[in-house]
């Protein structure tokens, strides 16, 4: 037997190796799973970068003291939970501004607003249609303006919701009105319906008119309303400076260079002219001693210019000048809103603006003590354009504790989207390379003609 026969005999004795019929398909599926796992791992790495920042790596000292206004305020991150999902309990303050990030595109046509707990530093967010929210004096209820249509601003599309911060549930308080504030005792809510959007074809003399409603709380019944004519309303009166009397029977309004007092029947009890940029000094302008406080800013050309503001007083029965406590002048403000009194000491929210028409606005809570040389700053958080405080606790400051933000999946997704872009692009590049490589292999395996 020659060598060739021997080799053939050995080949015939060798075991036969069977090839699975789907070997190629299984290899291709395994390759696809590996590619998908790589893409998923990249996405998880991006999310993990945000997840490790969820705990506060530099916590503040533990909260001390009873309920009150915190001495410092943190910037809530984008993943902060919403009130409706996780109620914070009664609030110490509500604020808006660049410190509260927007969740675009998840919350279009909304104003990001942060809420801070009254007894502990629990942060939550809410998204009203407009910035004119109103926190009740006890900190439990937040009035929210909501708009059913983002393009139609007529009164029919506006409503005011009362959000319970303890339960997270809300109820409709009024339709066709937006909130502008509370009475000092928290027994009435003040709502407004502007005529400008409700009747845009009105004459120039009535287009800025408004209806103010006094609504009993918690019943929600409208006790009385008044039509306020504003024939010469000036730019900047969008905050509608009004103040309800302590007995709930009279309403002070400053508009069209006048200070007026309306009765429950809608009639004007008296009015007096205002000079320059004098304006009613906030929701607590009507004092228990029968005086009404005015914020005077002499030498200021318009409401958007900053200037020195001084509180003066008039008799609530007649409108005549009536000397009151001598309070320090507030320097370089374009808005001064007195929110509470403790005897002759006033607590106010002051808003400053570095330059006219600048978007860089800073709000702070200050205390004006009779005889003091200057106001005392109680709270001045960065990135806050407006403050709304629980006025029952305005004189009770507490040490801020470690902030708790909760976790919103919507907010976490909104936070991860900017960083997910590079990961998605990298994954797309990997898929393209894989596809080109597969095409090359398939072409190389084609039989030659």
List the domain range (segments joined by +) for residue 351: 276-389
pLDDT tens by residue, 276-306 = 888 999 999 999 999 999 999 887 777 677 8
pLDDT tens by residue, 439-448 = 776 666 555 5
The more confident residue out of 211 and 408 is: 211
327-344: string of b/e by CB count within 10 Å (b at 16+)? bbebeebbbbbbbbbeee
Beta strands in 61-169, from DSSP E residues, in sequence order: 69-70, 91-96, 113-117, 123-126, 134-135, 141-147, 158-164
In angstroms, rounded to a whole number, what is the distance separating the alpha carbons of residues 152 and 154? Answer: 6
Percent of the chain past pLDDT 90, that is, above it, reads 54
Tell me: pLDDT of 272 over 60.
Answer: yes
pLDDT tens by residue, 88-97 = 999 999 999 9
Residue 287 resides in a domain = yes
Count the Cβ atoms, other than its own, within 10 Å of residue 382: 10
- pLDDT at residue 416, as a whole number: 62
In angstroms, rounded to a whole number, what is the distance separating the alpha carbons of residues 22 and 218? Answer: 73
Residue 214 resides in a domain = no
Number of domain units in the chain:
1
Residue 289 resides in a domain = yes
Lay out the sheet containing 170-175: strands in order across.
134-135, 141-147, 158-164, 170-175
pLDDT tens by residue, 231-270 = 876 644 556 789 999 999 999 999 888 999 999 999 999 9
> Terminus-to-terminus CA distance in the chain, angstroms?
41
3 state SS of 42: helix
CATH number at residue 366: 2.40.128
Residue 365 resides in a domain = yes
Query: In terms of DSSP H, where are the helices of 346-408?
Result: none
Tell me: pLDDT of 271 over 80.
Answer: yes
The more confident residue out of 156 and 177 is: 177
Q: How confident is the model at residue 45 (pLDDT cuts 50, 70, 90)?
A: low
Q: State mean pLDDT over 312-316.
A: 96
Residue 375 resides in a domain = yes
- pLDDT at residue 55, as a whole number: 44
Tell me: pLDDT of 52 over 50.
Answer: no
Residue 135 resides in a domain = no
Q: How confident is the model at residue 366 (pLDDT cuts 50, 70, 90)?
A: very high
In angstroms, rounded to a whole number, what is the distance separating the alpha carbons of residues 284 and 344? Answer: 12
Identify the weakest region by mean pLDDT among 21-30, 193-202, 276-285, 310-319.
Answer: 21-30
Tell me: pLDDT of 23 over 70.
Answer: no
Q: Which helix (H) or strand (E) holds 28?
A: helix 23-51
Q: How confident is the model at residue 355 (pLDDT cuts 50, 70, 90)?
A: low
Residue 313 resides in a domain = yes
Tell me: pLDDT of 27 over 70.
Answer: no
As a whole number, the mean pLDDT across the chain is 83
Residue 219 resides in a domain = no
């Amino acid at each position: 037997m020659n060598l060739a026969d021997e080799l053939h005999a050995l080949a015939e004795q060798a075991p036969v190796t069977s090839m699975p019929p789907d070997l190629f398909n299984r290899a291709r599926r395994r390759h696809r799973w590996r590619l998908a796992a790589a893409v998923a791992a990249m996405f998880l790495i991006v999310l993990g970068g945000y997840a490790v920042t969820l705990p506060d790596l530099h916590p503040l000292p533990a909260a001390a003291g009873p309920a009150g206004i915190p001495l410092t305020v943190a910037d809530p991150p984008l993943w902060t939970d919403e009130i409706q999902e996780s109620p914070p309990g009664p609030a110490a303050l509500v604020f808006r501004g660049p410190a509260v990030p927007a969740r675009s595109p998840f919350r279009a046509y909304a104003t990001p607003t942060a809420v801070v707990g009254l007894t502990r530093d629990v942060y939550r967010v809410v998204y009203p249609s407009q910035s004119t929210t109103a926190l009740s004096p006890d900190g439990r209820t937040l009035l929210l303006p909501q708009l059913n249509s983002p393009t139609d601003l007529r009164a029919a599309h506006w409503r005011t919701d009362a959000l319970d911060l303890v339960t997270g549930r809300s109820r409709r308080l009024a339709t066709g009105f937006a909130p502008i504030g509370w009475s000092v005792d928290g027994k009435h809510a003040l709502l407004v319906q502007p005529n400008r959007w409700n009747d845009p074809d009105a004459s120039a003399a009535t287009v800025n008119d408004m209806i103010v409603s006094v609504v009993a709380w918690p019943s929600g019944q409208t006790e009385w309303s008044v039509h306020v004519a504003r024939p010469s309303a000036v730019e900047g009166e969008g905050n509608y400076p009004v103040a309800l009397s302590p007995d709930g029977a009279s309403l002070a309004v400053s508009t069209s260079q006048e200070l007026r007092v309306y009765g429950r029947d809608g009639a004007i009890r008296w009015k007096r002219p205002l000079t320059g940029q004098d304006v009613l000094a906030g929701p607590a302008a009507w004092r228990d001693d029968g005086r009404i406080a005015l914020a005077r800013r002499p030498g200021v050309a318009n409401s958007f210019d900053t200037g020195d503001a001084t509180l003066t007083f008039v008799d609530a029965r007649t409108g005549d000048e009536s000397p009151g406590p001598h309070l320090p002048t507030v320097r370089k403000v374009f808005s001064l809103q007195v929110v509470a009194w403790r005897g002759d000491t006033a607590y106010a929210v002051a808003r400053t603006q570095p330059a006219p028409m600048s978007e860089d606005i800073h709000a702070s809570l200050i205390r004006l003590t009779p005889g003091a040389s200057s106001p005392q700053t109680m709270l001045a958080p960065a990135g806050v354009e407006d403050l709304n405080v629980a006025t029952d606790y305005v004189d009770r400051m507490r040490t801020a504790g470690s902030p708790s933000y909760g976790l919103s999946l919507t907010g976490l997704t909104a936070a991860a989207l900017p960083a997910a872009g590079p990961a998605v692009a990298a994954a797309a590049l990997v898929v393209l390379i894989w596809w080109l490589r597969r095409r090359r292999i398939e072409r190389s395996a084609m039989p030659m003609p």
